[in-house]
Structures are given as structure tokens and as C-alpha cells.
Amino acid sequence: MNSRQRVIRAIEMTGPDRTPIMHDTLPGASSRYGETLDALYRRYPQDVINVGSATYGEYGPEIDTSSRDPWGSLWIRHNDEHKGQVVFHPLADWDELDRYQPPDTATDRIVAAMVRRIEENAECKYTIADGDTLWQRMYYLRGFQAANEDLLIEPERAARLRDMILEVILRRLERLATLDGLDGVHFRDDWGTQTALLIRPDLWCEFFKPAYAKMFDVVRRSGKHVWFHSDGVIHEIIPDLIQIGVHVLNPQCNCMSREQLSSLVAGKVCLLGDLDRQWTLPHGTPEDVRAAVRADVETYGRHHGGLIHRGEIAGDVPLENVEAMLDEMTHYEIP
């Protein structure tokens, strides 16, 4: 069974030979460990590859050096552990909206680069492409506080901004839908804090759910899988995400209990894991890490699949914990 077959079987819960693995590394870990980390990844290769991002500029070329993304937002990062922060919002002034020209994230050049990566893959790995972000793009353009206030104070303008971003995303998705060899499309919007959803669930369902449904429908109609990432406590909208077509859900698992999350996803949708990156990975022992991997498999991966392993590696994660995670992910058998 090759990597692509393994991932598809995990997503569709038809019995992979083992739980698939996906690498996730922050620049801080790459800077700290360099070739040593690369060698470890070669020993435990991932089953999924990303063939194309929808944007750039969020990390920037150097610390404390500004970079601009395709939408015109200006970013600065102050360390290697996180992406930057937006320091200039192109639509901070609503009057700029009439003159604003959004980018095309599906040009022939962008698509051709993805095609090359897919062809290089030769069907060995499962391939995903970035479908972009909707809500985060709204506040990258407007500012976080302003975008939240807009939902209540300027709902018509907020809807106009949402629809403009949605149009760009849908154009990209229509191009991605035509790509032979592309298996899935990954979307990303952080909807939770450490304790709650950012906005009321009913407002999310009214304002954002229909837009996501349109995005997911394009992907599903093309026979590809829908992947969705969101940090924070999002249990209130997980049933809605499943209803509108998510195949692979990537929540910040440690923000919710295994019991709560299992009741919402196990056997219903494949979970892209998120091994606790706030405590277990940076501060736990290698055995703590191994125990967390086993618990994830036993909780989410026992439905003839239903789990893809992932642990985000930052610069504060000891190398022995990285090795323990990858080794356990590779060898712990699905119950």
C-alpha cells in the first residue's frame, strides 16, 4: 500500500495498513535542528504533500523585515516560532473598498507550478493544495477588531467583503477542480479561542456557513476531499462543518476533551491530528508523547481509519520528543 492509498483509506475509513503521517514544522525548529531534523523526517516520511499555497508573505524573508502578501496586507514577524502579524490593513478604511482590486490566486503560472509538483509526485503521495482562508482574510484586510465589529455594525459591508474574497477563492477552486492527480483541498480559518468560539454559533451559521458550503461543494463535485483547519474551541460548529461536506477536520484537539471531540467526529469524519503542542510536545517526556499518540489512535483511528497523524514541531520541542512521536505514529497498530 503506497502513501496515497493509505491516506485515502484513512479518510474513507476503509482500512489503511497503518495511520498516515503528515509533517508540520515551524521555522524555529528548522533553524534549531537543521539537517538533523531533516534526516529524522527522511527516516519517517510523510504520506501527504502540499503542492501549492494560495498566498505568501505571512512568514516573510527575515525577522523584523516586512513583506506584503498578494492581497496587499503588510506583515512583520518578530521570531521564528509564529507567522507574522499584519501591520497594514488595505481596507482599514471602508472607502477603499470601491477601489480595491483583489488578486487572482489561480493564474496559469500558479496552476502550472502545482501541476509540475503533482507530476513529480508520480501518484506515490496523497496531494493537497491550499484553498485559502475566508474569515482570516477578512481581518487581514480590515483589522481584527474592525472585522469583528463589522459583523454586527456593518453587516452589509461585511457581506460585500466576504463575497469579494469568496469570489477569488471560488475562481481558484474551479481551477483546482480540473487538476488530475490532486486529491484534496485544504482550507484554514481559526474560529476558536482557548475557551470558546470567536462569534455566536448562530451568527457563524448565518454569515459563514453558506459561503463554506459553496467552497466545499466545488471540491466535492470534482471528486476531491475537503480538508478544514481551525484552532481553538470549535465544538459548536463541528456538526455544521461535517454537514456541509468536510472530509478531514483538523481542530486544535487539546482545547477540547478527547471524549467531547470523539463524540462529534469518531466514525463520522477523518481527524487530522494535532498532538498537544502547548504542553505534551514541548514539555512532556518521550513516553508522554508516545502515550498521547496511542490515545489518539485508540480514540479516533479505530473505525477502519478515521485518523491522520500530525504534530506541529516548533523550536521548543526537544528532538527526542519529535523522534518518539514519529516512531510511535509509524509503529503503533490500529486497534
Task: Give pLDDT tens digits for 4-37.
Answer: 999 999 999 999 999 999 999 998 999 999 999 9
**How many angstroms separate the CA atoms of 282 and 114, rounded?**
34
Residue that is written with C-alpha cell 462543518 in the block: 241
**How many angstroms separate the CA atoms of 146 and 137, rounded?**
13
Domain that holds residue 50: 3-331
Query: Pick from 37, 104, 88, 13: which is nearest to 302 by CA?
Result: 13
The tens-digit pLDDT sequence of the chain (335 residues) is 999 999 999 999 999 999 999 999 998 999 999 999 999 999 999 999 999 999 998 888 888 899 999 999 999 988 888 888 999 999 999 999 999 999 999 999 999 999 999 998 867 999 999 999 999 999 999 999 999 999 999 999 999 999 999 999 999 999 999 999 999 999 999 999 999 999 999 999 999 999 999 999 999 999 999 999 999 999 999 999 999 999 999 999 999 988 999 999 999 999 999 999 999 999 999 999 999 999 999 999 888 999 999 999 999 999 999 999 999 999 998 76
Number of CB atoms found within 10 A of residue 114's CB: 22
Helix axes 286-300, 258-265, angle to 10 degrees: 30
**How many angstroms separate the CA atoms of 86 and 66, rounded?**
9
pTM of the predicted protein model: 0.96
Number of domains within the chain: 1
CATH of the domain at 46: 3.20.20.210
In DSSP terms, 127 is beta-bridged to 49
Q: What is the dihedral of CA 242, 309, 235, 141, to 10 degrees?
A: -80
Strands (E), the chain: 21-25, 48-50, 67-68, 74-76, 85-88, 126-132, 184-188, 225-230, 248-251, 270-272, 307-313
Angle value at C-alpha 174, between 168 and 179, nearest 5 degrees: 130
Q: Which residues contact 227 (CB under 8 A, 6 or more apart)?
A: 128, 184, 185, 186, 187, 246, 247, 248, 249, 250, 272
